[in-house]
Amino acid sequence: MKHILLSMTLALGLLMGSTQVLASEGGAELPSAGVNLRDQASLQRGARLFFNYCVGCHSLQYQRYSRIAEDLGLTEKEVMENLNFTGAKFGEPVISHMPEDQAKQWFGKAPPDLSLEVRAKTADWVYGYLNSFYVDPSRPVGWNNTVFPNASMPFPLWELQGVQTAVKKPGSEEVEKLELSQPGRMTPEQYKQASRDLTNFLAYVAEPAALQRHAYGIWVILFLALFTLLAYALKKEYWKDVH
């Protein structure tokens, strides 16, 4: 019995260990995004934010509307009425209508596809980015960002978060901290939650299979436990005449 317990603890330990490694890959100074792919309500809120505020410029070229419905527990009707504003068909991928050359002209840069953004930059980076916009009249789009300095993205969530202003270090151009100089429709706590939901949704989009992998994990543990029991019973059987 001791053996069984030991190997089960080991298997669990391995599983926990692997998620730990993933969680600690973010930048050192970034706040934690607290991604939780099992929080379906958060993923749904994040999807709503993405389709209301981001799809005007950014695509998710590897993500189909039908897959979002399936993974986020939404019906076809809910997705087509509440999330799909581009006129795409249910089985089609999420493609923004923003023409690339137009965007380059307006922002100086084309908005990149965000399908793999969380894998490229980490969830903490995206969450930090969404919390670090401040007004900067010296920038062409009027906004700057402490996580991504001189980003040419106009901050689309300012109505929700409000307007942040940079406090510079005395005698320098370096930003010391950001201050909310004009409140938005959300309280700071509500905005943190909203940007966390949005990051959560983008983390799911970057790896839709992760949702299923969490479900497999339980079965793997059960299988290991069962297998250990069997092996133990077998061992007992083989050795019973030896002693």
Binding site for ligand HEC (CB under 6 A): 53-54, 56-58, 103, 107, 109, 111-112, 114, 117, 121, 126, 129, 151-154, 156-157, 198
Among residues 93 and 154, whose Cβ is nearest to ligand HEC? 154
Among residues 156 and 184, whose Cβ is nearest to ligand HEC? 156
- Minimum distance of ligand HEC from residue 218's CB (angstroms): 32
Q: Cα separation of 204 and 115, whole Å?
A: 9
- Minimum distance of ligand HEC from residue 57's CB (angstroms): 3
Using an 8 Å Cβ cutoff, are 156 and 107 in contact?
Answer: no
b vs e for 149-184, b when ≥16 Cβ sit within 10 Å of the residue's Cβ? Answer: eebbbebbbbebbbbbebeeeeeeeebeebeeeeeb
Using an 8 Å Cβ cutoff, are 144 and 133 in contact?
Answer: yes
- Minimum distance of ligand HEC from residue 236's CB (angstroms): 57
Q: Fill in the DSSP letter of residue 147.
A: S
Among residues 64 and 121, whose Cβ is nearest to ligand HEC? 121
Using an 8 Å Cβ cutoff, are 198 and 46 in contact?
Answer: yes
Token pair belonging to 168: 């510079």
- Minimum distance of ligand HEC from residue 222's CB (angstroms): 38
Question: How far, CA to CA in Å, does 54 sit from each of 66, 165, 179, 192, 229?
Answer: 19, 23, 24, 17, 51
- Minimum distance of ligand HEC from residue 140's CB (angstroms): 10
Among residues 33 and 157, whose Cβ is nearest to ligand HEC? 157
Q: Which residue has the CB atom at the shortest distance from ligand HEC? A: 54
- Minimum distance of ligand HEC from residue 109's CB (angstroms): 4
Among residues 39 and 76, whose Cβ is nearest to ligand HEC? 39
Contacts of 110 (CB under 8 A, 6+ apart): 100, 103, 104
Among residues 166 and 202, whose Cβ is nearest to ligand HEC? 202
Token pair belonging to 117: 């953004």
